[in-house]
A = this chain, B = another copy of it.
Amino acid sequence: MASRTLLSPEEQTRQLASLNGWNIVDGAICKSFQFADFVTAWGFMSRVALLAQQMDHHPDWRNVYNRVEISLSTHSAGGITGMDIALATQIEQLEIG
């Protein structure tokens, strides 16, 4: 089970290396996704919404037509935790699956 304890900067760097295209911005891990159109972007968002609800860990995200920007941090901890890495990892698997 992923932890809601803050990751050290070294641990952030180490864990981010296992993900594809995520960057740290303002104390959160962020990635921009681009799809063919709104329908495809919304399909992706719907899958992320179900994951987020299941994990009880929700993204800060923005959508404009075919683009989705996701920002993950743990508000209760004030930064990046294992929960953010765990959700990002699950989102990565959606892209593949």
Contact = CB atoms under 8 A, between A and B. Distances in A.
Copies in the complex: 2
Interface string A56-68: 0011111111000
Interface residues of A, number: 15
A52 interface: yes
B60 A61 contact: no
A22 interface: no
Given A42-B49, A58-B65, 11 more contacts: A38-B49, A38-B52, A38-B58, A39-B53, A46-B46, A59-B63, A60-B62, A60-B64, A61-B62, A61-B63, A61-B64
Interface of A: 38-39, 42, 46, 49, 52-53, 58-65
